[in-house]
């Protein structure tokens, strides 16, 4: 139902009027460039709007409505969201799909994790299964299946 909506506002309306059984985050955008993250619980939702021309999120709650993580704690407690925001901020004048792909393939120095994760043999195994970049206004997306540092982003027409 979300993908069938013609605008970000219409998608937010669908989320607002749909019964939910778990907590999820949705990153939504439309052809007009209206982007947001919607954090949801079964009983409530919160819409987060970017202060810049981009938005980053890594599946932790940030909204004050949900006692979300304040910006100044994210470097330590939500390093993926913090780092992706920092990397894109450094290129804020020229964010294109290559800048986004570079951020998605980023690894933390000396670690098997980062924004791109492949910790297959750690105590808490995890791996990035899919990374994608959507160019909503042009009806295109690029997707890398598996760790994006090891798999090419392939173009898809929507």
Binding site for Zn ion (CB under 5 A): 116, 147, 149
Compute the chain's Rg from CA coordinates: 16
Least distance CB 80 / Zn ion (angstroms)? 12
Residue 29 tokens, joined? 């955008």
Residue 27 contacts residue 55 (beta carbons within 8 Å): yes
Q: At closest approach, how far in Å is the CB of 2 from Zn ion?
A: 29
Length of the chain: 158
- Determine the angle formed by the axes of helices 79-89 and 97-104, rounding to 10 degrees: 150
CB of 123 to Zn ion, least distance (A): 19
**Residues 48 and 62 sit within 8 Å (Cβ to Cβ):** yes
Smallest separation, CB 142 to Zn ion (Å): 16
| Comparison of 47 and 149: residue with beta carbon closer to Zn ion | 149
Q: Which is nearer to Zn ion, 97 or 107 (CB)?
A: 107
62 versus 118: smaller Cβ distance to Zn ion: 118
Please, which residue, 103 or 116, has the CB nearer to Zn ion?
116
Residue with tokens 């890398």: 144
Largest CA distance in the chain: 45
Instruction: Specify which residues 145 forms β-bridges with.
Output: 130
- Residue whose CB is less far from Zn ion, 8 or 147: 147
């Amino acid at each position: 139902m979300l993908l069938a909506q013609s605008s970000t506002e219409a998608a937010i309306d669908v989320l607002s009027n749909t019964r939910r059984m778990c907590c999820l985050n949705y990153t939504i955008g439309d052809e007009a460039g209206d982007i947001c993250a919607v954090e949801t619980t079964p009983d409530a939702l919160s819409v987060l709007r970017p202060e810049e021309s981009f938005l980053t999120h890594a599946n932790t709650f940030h909204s004050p409505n949900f006692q979300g993580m304040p910006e100044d704690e994210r470097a330590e407690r939500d390093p993926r969201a913090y780092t992706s925001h920092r990397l894109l901020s450094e290129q804020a004048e020229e964010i294109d799909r290559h800048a986004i792909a570079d951020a998605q393939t980023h690894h933390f120095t000396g670690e098997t994790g980062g924004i791109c994760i492949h910790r297959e043999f750690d105590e808490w195994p995890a791996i990035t299964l899919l990374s994608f970049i959507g160019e909503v206004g042009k009806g295109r997306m690029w997707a890398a299946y598996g760790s994006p540092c090891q798999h090419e982003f392939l173009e898809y027409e929507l």
